[in-house]
Amino acid sequence: MQPNLIYINELSVGDDSFKSHLICVLKKEFSSEASDYFCSMLSNNFKQALVNVDKLKHKIIILGLEKGYETASSFEDSLIENKTCGQEEFESILETIGSFLNRI
pLDDT tens sequence across 12-63 = 999 999 999 999 999 999 999 999 999 999 999 999 999 999 999 999 999 9
Average per-residue pLDDT for the chain = 97
Taking 90 as the threshold, does the pLDDT of residue 97 lie above it? yes
* CB within 8 Å of 16: residues ≥ 6 apart: none
Determine the Cα angle at 35 with ends 70 and 49, to 5°: 50
For the residues 76-99, what does the mean pLDDT come to?
97
